[in-house]
Amino acid sequence: MTNHKRFWKRERAAYRVLIVICAAVLVVAIIGVYFADKSDEEYVAVSEEDPNRIENGIHLRTGLVEAEGLMETVTNCTSCHSAKLLTQNRLSKEGWVSAIRWMQETQNLWDLGDNEEIIVNYLAKNYPPESKGRRENIKKINWYELQ
């Protein structure tokens, strides 16, 4: 073999290696695009969180206590104002009924039908007037001398 022929043979081998590498890169890229598309589809399928999730006995969206009548109260009493108006107004059964009557007469609150008793019972039981809204005064204090 002459030097000239040997040179061209080596050159062709180098080209072949180059073409194989290019083909491999292309295959990897195509596979990558294929799988990237797949994972996009999975993201679309993720569902929203439950708006009525309850954790540690508290309805997270409104902060109301989980008990019988919770969902009736959430549905009827938190669409116009925050549930804080319920939790901050601790009332007796009569007090809750008169608050409802006042809203029905002046604020366009609808007739609650059978749900009124369920809601009033829920509120009077879980947000009654005698419950302490604040912590008690501290009774035992250990004073100490500042050095």
Residue 49 has φ and ψ, to the nearest 5°, of: -75, 150
- Closest approach, Cβ 61 to ligand HEC, in A, equals 16
With residue 75 as reference, give the H or E element that holds it: helix 70-77
The only residue of 54, 60, 71, 103 in contact with ligand HEC, by rule CB under 6 A? 103
58 three-state secondary structure? strand
Q: What is the dihedral of CA 59, 61, 63, 69, to 10 degrees?
A: -50
- Closest approach, Cβ 87 to ligand HEC, in A, equals 9
- Closest approach, Cβ 116 to ligand HEC, in A, equals 7
The only residue of 60, 109, 117, 121 in contact with ligand HEC, by rule CB under 6 A? 109
Tokens at 139, concatenated? 């009774």
What is the pattern of x (binds ligand HEC, CB under 6 A) and - over residues 66-95? ----------xx-xxx---xx--x------
Q: Which is nearer to ligand HEC, 18 or 98 (CB)?
A: 98
Q: Is 92 left (phi over 0), alpha (psi -120 to 50) or beta?
A: beta
Is the torsion defined by CA of 19, 23, 29, 30 positive or negative?
positive
Chain residues binding ligand HEC by CB under 6 A are: 76-77, 79-81, 85-86, 89, 96, 99-100, 103, 107-109, 112, 119, 123
